[in-house]
Structure 1
Amino acid sequence: MTRPLALVTGASTGIGAAFARLLAAEGYDLLLAADEPAVHDVAKELDGTGRRAEACVVDLADPQAVHRLHDMAHGFGQSVDVAVLNAGIGVWGRFDEVDLDTQLRVVDLNVRSTVHLAVLLARDMAAAGRGRMLMVASIAGKAPGPGHAAYAASKAFVHSYAEAARHDLRGTGVSVTSLLPGPTATSFFRRNDMEEARVAQGPQASAETVARQGYEAMMRGRDMVVGGRLFHRVQTMFSGFVPDRLGAAIASRETERVGPPQE
């Protein structure tokens, strides 16, 4: 019998790789995408468990790459049952001082490619009458984000888009869930040169914990879930009651430079 198929972007490390391992354990074949060759290592690891796991090194900030990944999914000969849209990058610093091209790449990858791939996959899922999609946003998107303005705004977009897409797809058999991770022990802060920021040096949840929380919420058909520690779930719950000006002031403290991590 054909096993269900899951597609995971940003699957070379961190939350994406944790999702890939979890989905393999749950019986899914996998199409894994990332912008670095390490995604082949994850696919090889999971292919050895008896699951079919294929990797695609692709820069989803390029629209043609999104189509290429979608074509690879069609190559499995079945529709995608689960899609985890996790690929994303960040940028740290005062917005008028940070490299403009870097900020625009954040928008291209986090926002545009999410919309592009979500629409292509949702059409397939709706035609099949089934499917579960999870879009990875962030608790950073629940308030203005001084110090990482483009990143926080991009994740606010992803969360809002997921909630609207969920509503639009009512009655199709397709559900959409938004996952809002708090600080997570991945390579995110290192890759975005944020290791000296306060948020990078505080308590962090494991990628496996966040992936499990996201997976369970997605399979239950929930609209959203805050991933990580209880403190961040409570913090996010109350963020909607705080005026944006105050929220920006509170959030700015998390992106302050506090110096190198303590050994």
Structure 2
Amino acid sequence: MDGKATVEGADRLISQIGDRDIDLLFLNAGRGLGNGFVDQDWRKVRRIIDTNVTGTVYLAHELGAKMARRGRGRILFTGSIAGFMPGTFQAVYNGTKAFIDSFSIALRHELKDSGVTVTVLMPGPTQTRFFERAEMMDTKVGSDEKDNPADVAKTGYEAMMAGDEQVVSGWKNKLQVAAAHVTPAGTLAEQHRRMAEPGSASSD
């Protein structure tokens, strides 16, 4: 299991940091898993939750507290536009990203007078090994063209350094988020099915 997916692994990372001050904290762990929820291996499901939520929130708690005590620092969470839609055939991943999108903004407002800023980057599908590792290469979203990871990272970094609350990378993703705010959840779930259902890569 990934080191940062467990409290013990996160503690090892924290011990390596030691007493050094942290100015910038990037919490960008993310792992997905395709296919229907009831067909998934529970150990893999648990790994998604532990990586995307447990390890991320624990690091934010322990290292964010040090930043707040010192009175300065910047934290960047990587959420996702997936957090705005029910993730049919990717239900656990979208649920964890909905949590991160919400949690990061709440934390920002808790820390608003501390000297620590919190920013959440919400990208769309990005050209990394994410979809391969999530066993989603036979899906439409897995096979479609994706955003350049360098561009996404630059967008997040610039937003963090500017102290922004949140940023969606890419104009297409911005349009998708705007539409998600006025679209019924059931409709969004069916739209997501067409992107993430196994075998959808071969569909028009």
TM-score range, shorter chain: over 0.9
Higher mean C-alpha displacement, 109-118 vs 77-86: 77-86
Return the alpha-carbon distance in structure 2 between the equivalents of residues 238 and 217 of structure 1.
Answer: 22
Whether 1:203 aligns to 2:145 is: yes
Q: CA deviation at 1:259?
A: 4.4
Q: CA deviation at 1:145?
A: 0.3
- Identity across aligned pairs (percent)? 37
Return the alpha-carbon distance in structure 2 between the equivalents of residues 98 and 72 of structure 1.
Answer: 35
Higher mean C-alpha displacement, 153-162 vs 188-197: 188-197
Q: CA deviation at 1:238?
A: 2.2
Return the alpha-carbon distance in structure 1 between the equivalents of residues 184 and 155 of structure 2.
Answer: 29
Q: CA deviation at 1:78?
A: 2.6
> TM-score w.r.t. structure 2 length?
0.94
C-alpha root-mean-square deviation of aligned residues, in Å? 1.4
Q: CA deviation at 1:102?
A: 0.8
Instruction: State the partner residue of 2:6.
Output: 62
Return the alpha-carbon distance in structure 1 between the equivalents of residues 155 and 178 of structure 2.
Answer: 16
> Any idea what the Cα deviations from partners look like across 1:99-123, whole Å, max 9, x if unmatched?
1111111111111111100001111
Instruction: State the partner residue of 2:17.
Output: 73
Return the alpha-carbon distance in structure 2 between the equivalents of residues 198 and 122 of structure 1.
Answer: 38
Instruction: State the partner residue of 1:233.
Output: 174
Return the alpha-carbon distance in structure 2 between the equivalents of residues 92 and 64 of structure 1.
Answer: 27
Q: CA deviation at 1:172?
A: 0.3
For 2:125, which of 180, 183, 188 is the aligned residue?
183
Q: Which amino acid aligns with 2:193?
A: S
Q: Give the match's secondary structure for 2:5.
A: coil
More strand by share: 1
Return the alpha-carbon distance in structure 1 between the equivalents of residues 62 and 154 of structure 2.
Answer: 26
Q: Which amino acid aligns with 1:81?
A: D
Q: CA deviation at 1:83?
A: 0.7
Instruction: State the partner residue of 2:134.
Output: 192
> TM-score w.r.t. structure 1 length?
0.74
* Residue ranges of structure 1 left out of the alignment (5+ in a row): 1-34, 36-57
For 2:34, which of 80, 92, 101 is the aligned residue?
92
> Any idea what the Cα deviations from partners look like across 1:7-66, whole Å, max 9, x if unmatched?
xxxxxxxxxxxxxxxxxxxxxxxxxxxx8xxxxxxxxxxxxxxxxxxxxxx611221111
Higher relative contact order, structure no. (Cα contacts within 8 Å, ≥ 6 residues apart): 2
Return the alpha-carbon distance in structure 2 between the equivalents of residues 91 and 117 of structure 1.
Answer: 23
Whether 1:165 aligns to 2:107 is: yes
Return the alpha-carbon distance in structure 1 between the equivalents of residues 171 and 56 of structure 2.
Answer: 28
More helix by share: 2
Q: CA deviation at 1:203?
A: 2.2
Whether 1:140 aligns to 2:97 is: no
Instruction: State the partner residue of 2:193.
Output: 252
Q: Give the match's secondary structure for 1:157.
A: helix
Return the alpha-carbon distance in structure 2 between the equivalents of residues 240 and 178 of structure 1.
Answer: 18
Q: CA deviation at 1:95?
A: 0.6
Return the alpha-carbon distance in structure 1 between the equivalents of residues 201 and 82 of structure 2.
Answer: 21
Return the alpha-carbon distance in structure 2 between the equivalents of residues 234 and 97 of structure 1.
Answer: 32
Aligned positions, number:
201
Q: Which amino acid aligns with 2:15?
A: D
Return the alpha-carbon distance in structure 1 between the equivalents of residues 110 and 60 of structure 2.
Answer: 13
Q: Which amino acid aligns with 2:150?
A: E
